[in-house]
């Protein structure tokens, strides 16, 4: 099976490089990925996938299916293809999406024989609103047995965790007045924001060290001689579990409520972006993936990192067993992501070699899940123990 997968991946390699380089040359921001999603769809169509796009009312999302019509599990690979403002594909999503689509195509050439179903999802706007959150909420992954994607990175690394996140906005409203000649007639909205920051900074001493609260003031008045009647602050609150996130978010909101009460301002609280769940790596699935990486010659696979950011794959990992490992494209240079240099590294021989190994590993892992009923049972047993 190993040799067959490698052969199929190598046969596809030229088409995949064309796809990745085309997307690199045409960087599109989140939810504007018209060319990029179309390029994925055309390749998948050429390889006999049935396409639904737009998907779930998201213009640049798609769902591609290849069904062997033989009984077996559903394996899903998730593609991303959004770029960053100013620096194009500095997160390497041109290559990330290509790897997922490539894995889907290669596995589709095997399922007629071994059974099962292959899905490739196009999931836009990972860097901004995170389409996977909406797709997960609307049931896109309800009939999926395992979901996988691999993200480009300096080195190969195992799938780990990411933090659950809430994006909370506080809007304080007061009353303008001359700040020197009639201060007693004004109500200072900026004070509401400042007291909120002070409250949160006091709270900080008593929260779990793994949690994060960080904010900015996006509106704080126009001139020093006018009492500000409008002030707005935005925060991200992050924690390792959803349960603790909810508890901590409530305490953060109470800081704003206390500030509103003490300053006499009116307070509005809202979420300014979608909330992300924590990423729960399915360790049973992850171990199979890590073992398979070695089959294709990757020996240096770093242990899962303590990741303090948040991923929209987190929401998927609460719907079905999932992994989000990393593959190395600039091992020698150790280039950080979200830079132009990292984007350029997606076009190198090293990157294409890693692409081939990663696709082969994703496919072999899918094959293992399809052929080994006991393995899938163990994966699901672990999944069913996740606490929300």
Contact region for Zn ion (CB under 5 A) — 90-98, 203-211, 295-303, 307-315?
90-98
Residues contacting 236, CB < 8 A, separation 6+: 165, 166, 167, 168, 212, 213, 214, 215
Tally of CB atoms within 10 A around 257: 16
Distance of CA 91 to the CA centre of its chain: 12
Q: Is 134 in the site for Zn ion (CB under 5 A)?
A: no
- Pick 91 or 252: Cβ nearer Zn ion: 91
Q: Give yes or no for a contact between 360 and 288, defined as CB atoms under 8 angstroms apart.
A: no
Q: Is 150 in the site for Zn ion (CB under 5 A)?
A: no
Q: Is 345 in the site for Zn ion (CB under 5 A)?
A: no
DSSP 197: H
The CB-of-58 to Zn ion minimum distance in angstroms stands at 18
- Pick 91 or 329: Cβ nearer Zn ion: 91
DSSP 303: P
Q: Is 125 in the site for Zn ion (CB under 5 A)?
A: no
- Pick 91 or 147: Cβ nearer Zn ion: 91
- Pick 54 or 309: Cβ nearer Zn ion: 309
- Pick 58 or 91: Cβ nearer Zn ion: 91
User: Closest residue (Cβ) to Zn ion?
Assistant: 91
Contact region for Zn ion (CB under 5 A) — 67-75, 83-91, 166-174, 272-280?
83-91
Tally of CB atoms within 10 A around 3: 7
Alpha-carbon distance values, 7 to 3, 81, 264, 296, 371 (Å): 6, 26, 70, 12, 20
The CB-of-21 to Zn ion minimum distance in angstroms stands at 18
Contact region for Zn ion (CB under 5 A) — 9-17, 91-99, 243-251, 316-324?
91-99
CA distance 269 to 248: 15
Q: Is 131 in the site for Zn ion (CB under 5 A)?
A: no
Peptide bond into 54 cis (omega under 30): yes
Q: Give yes or no for a contact between 248 and 203, defined as CB atoms under 8 angstroms apart.
A: no
Q: Is 252 in the site for Zn ion (CB under 5 A)?
A: no
- Pick 149 or 288: Cβ nearer Zn ion: 149
Residues contacting 74, CB < 8 A, separation 6+: 116, 117, 118, 119, 143, 144, 145
End-to-end CA distance of the chain: 38
Contact region for Zn ion (CB under 5 A) — 88-96, 170-178, 216-224, 295-303?
88-96
Binding residue (CB under 5 A) for Zn ion from 6, 16, 43, 91? 91
The CB-of-90 to Zn ion minimum distance in angstroms stands at 7
The CB-of-326 to Zn ion minimum distance in angstroms stands at 10
Q: Give yes or no for a contact between 104 and 66, defined as CB atoms under 8 angstroms apart.
A: yes
Extract the runs of DSSP E, i.e. beta strands, from the chain: 50-52, 62-67, 74-79, 117-122, 146-148, 151-153, 164-173, 212-219, 230-239, 266-271, 322-323, 326-328
Q: Is 311 in the site for Zn ion (CB under 5 A)?
A: no
- Of 53, 145, 152, whose CA–CA distance to 93 is shortest? 152
- Pick 5 or 91: Cβ nearer Zn ion: 91
Question: By rule CB under 5 A, what count of residues binds Zn ion?
Answer: 1
Q: Is 369 in the site for Zn ion (CB under 5 A)?
A: no
The CB-of-298 to Zn ion minimum distance in angstroms stands at 20
Q: What is the DSSP string of 202-219?
A: HHGGGS-TT-EEEEEEEE
- Pick 62 or 81: Cβ nearer Zn ion: 81
The CB-of-96 to Zn ion minimum distance in angstroms stands at 7
Q: Is 78 in the site for Zn ion (CB under 5 A)?
A: no
For tokens 């006499």, the residue is: 264
Q: Is 245 in the site for Zn ion (CB under 5 A)?
A: no
Contact region for Zn ion (CB under 5 A) — 89-97, 110-118, 129-137, 173-181?
89-97
- Pick 82 or 191: Cβ nearer Zn ion: 82
Strand (E) or helix (H) holding 357: helix 349-371
- Pick 29 or 179: Cβ nearer Zn ion: 29
- Footprint on this chain of Zn ion (rule: CB under 5 A): 91
């Amino acid at each position: 099976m190993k040799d067959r997968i490698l052969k199929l991946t190598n046969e596809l390699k030229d088409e995949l490089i064309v796809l990745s380089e085309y997307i690199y040359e045409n960087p599109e921001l989140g939810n504007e990925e018209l060319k990029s999603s179309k390029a994925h769809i055309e390749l998948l169509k050429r390889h006999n996938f049935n396409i639904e796009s737009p998907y779930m009312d998201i213009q640049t999302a798609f769902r591609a299916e290849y069904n062997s019509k033989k009984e077996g599990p559903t394996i899903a690979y998730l593609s991303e293809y959004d770029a960053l403002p100013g620096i194009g594909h500095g997160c390497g999503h041109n290559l990330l999406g290509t790897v997922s689509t490539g894995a889907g195509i290669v596995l589709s050439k095997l399922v007629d024989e071994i059974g099962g179903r292959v899905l490739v999802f196009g999931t836009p706007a990972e860097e901004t609103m995170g389409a996977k959150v909406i797709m997960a909420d609307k049931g896109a992954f309800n009939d999926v047995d395992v979901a996988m994607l691999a993200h480009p990175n300096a080195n190969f690394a195992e799938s780990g965790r990411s933090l659950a996140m809430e994006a909370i906005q506080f809007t304080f409203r007061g009353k303008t007045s001359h700040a020197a000649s009639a201060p007693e007639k004004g109500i200072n909205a900026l004070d509401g924001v400042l007291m909120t920051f002070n409250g949160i900074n006091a709270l900080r001493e008593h929260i779990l060290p793994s949690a994060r609260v960080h904010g900015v003031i996006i509106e704080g008045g126009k001139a020093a001689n006018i009492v500000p009647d409008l002030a707005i602050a935005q925060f991200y609150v992050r924690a390792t579990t959803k349960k603790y996130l909810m508890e901590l978010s409530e305490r953060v909101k109470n800081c704003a409520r206390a500030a509103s009460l003490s300053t006499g301002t009116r307070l509005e609280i809202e979420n300014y972006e979608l909330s992300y769940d924590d990423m729960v790596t399915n360790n049973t699935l992850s171990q199979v993936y890590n073992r398979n990486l070695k089959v294709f010659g990757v020996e240096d696979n770093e242990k899962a990192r303590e990741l303090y950011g948040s991923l929209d794959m987190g929401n998927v990992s609460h719907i079905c067993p999932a992994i989000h490992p990393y593959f190395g494209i600039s091992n020698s240079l150790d280039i950080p992501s979200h830079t132009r240099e990292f984007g350029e590294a997606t076009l190198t021989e090293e990157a294409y070699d890693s692409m081939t190994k990663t696709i082969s590993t994703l496919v072999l892992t899918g094959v293992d899940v399809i052929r080994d009923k006991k393995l899938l049972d163990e994966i699901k047993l672990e999944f069913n123990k996740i606490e929300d």
